[in-house]
Structures are given as structure tokens and as C-alpha cells.
Amino acid sequence: MVEDKKELLCRIAGLLFQKGLVSGKDGNISIKTGEDEMLITPSGICKGFLTPDMIIRQRFDGTIIEGSLKSTREAGMHSRLYELRPDIGAVVHTHPAAATAFAVCGRKFPENWLLEVPALIGKIGIAGFAPAGSAELVAEVEKVADSDVIFLQNHGVITYGPDIYEAFSRMDAVENTAKTILYSQILGDVREF
């Protein structure tokens, strides 16, 4: 069961990389596997090249159960979301260019431009700036954990869902929506509904 989830995590990481939703060595992805346990991607490895033996199995307090690589410094952020939201089964955190541009500017998507925003993406929360991997960042994420998507100020995006498929699909939808909004602004004359 855990081995299957490691393979799934690698497959989703590869899709994120292929679609340009994660680049270089950035981002981190996790799947909750128990009340106090998750599988999470390691630090410093390109998501397009992950293999199941690289995946870290760890407790929410950071204790490594299995894995020889270094865990991501963002593991605390994933753990805290699982603790606050029992409905979450997987978390995706990446820095997709268009959506991250909104996060850099501290802006949410307009809710009356695209049907996808209220229907597929849902409520967007903006977490204030804090250094990556810091307790301050976890505290900022806590403030908006009731959202469906979190924009991290000057950092990136977090999506989640009951499973990794939903978390991935939401990240894909967020980036596509961000691009569509930016293209619409270039064209001008946006028609609101």
C-alpha cells in the first residue's frame, strides 16, 4: 500500500514537471498515510526525476520513519494542514509562474471572469510573507487553512484535496486560470458575468 503511494507520488510529481507546474528543484508534494504520518518528496531533487526509493516517510513531528534523503524544509507546512483539515489527503506546493505572479502581487483571481474560479478552484486565501520552511510561514498558512487554495505571498501556491488527483487537478486549474486572466488583461475589454 505505502509502496503504491510512493509510485503514485512520483507519477504526479512527473506530471507536474511535464506540465511546467514545477521547475528545477522547487516545490514539494505529500500524501497522508495515517493519523500522524505522510509520504513527502525530498529536498533538492527535481520532481521530474523522482523514484519511489527517494520518497520520505515521516511523522508529522518530523521524525523520519523511512528514507535516506533529506526531507523538504516545508514538511511542517504539510503536517499542519493535515492536522487542521482532516478532509485533506494530499498537498501540492509548487511555484507555477502565472499563479505565483498573483501571489507575488498579493492578488486573488476575479470571481466573475471565469466559471472555473467559483466552480473548480473555490476560495483562495493569501498567506502573508514569511521565509520558506519557517515556523512563521506555518503560522501564516494556518490563518487561511479554511481556503481551497493558498497563495503564499512572494513564494508560490498550495493546493490540496481528499487525494493526490484532486490536489494535482486543482494546481493545474489554478495555473490555467492565472494564464487565462493574464491573457485577458492583455487583450482588454473583459466581459464579466
Domains annotated for the chain, with CATH where assigned, are 2-187 (3.40.225.10)
Catalytic pick among 37, 74, 111, 136: 74
Lowest mean pLDDT among 19-33, 108-122, 160-174: 108-122
Q: CA-CA distance, 126 to 40, in Å (whole number)?
A: 23
pLDDT digit string, tens, across residues 143-157:
999 999 999 999 999
Query: Rounded to whole angstroms, how far apart are CA atoms 50 and 11?
Result: 9
Q: If you search the block for the grid coordinates 504520518, which residue do you land on? A: 37
pTM equals 0.96
Q: Which residue has the cell 501556491?
A: 157
CA–CA separation, 192 vs 35, rounded Å?
44
Q: CA-based angle 157:160:164, to the nearest 5?
A: 120
Cell numbers for 103, please give them: 501571489
73/138 Cα distance (integer angstroms) = 11
Query: What pLDDT is stored for residue 150 in this prediction?
Result: 98
| Residue 83: active-site member | no
**pLDDT in the model for residue 53:** 97
Spatial distance between the Cα atoms of 175 and 98, rounded to a whole number of angstroms: 6
Residue 116 pLDDT class (50, 70, 90 cuts): confident
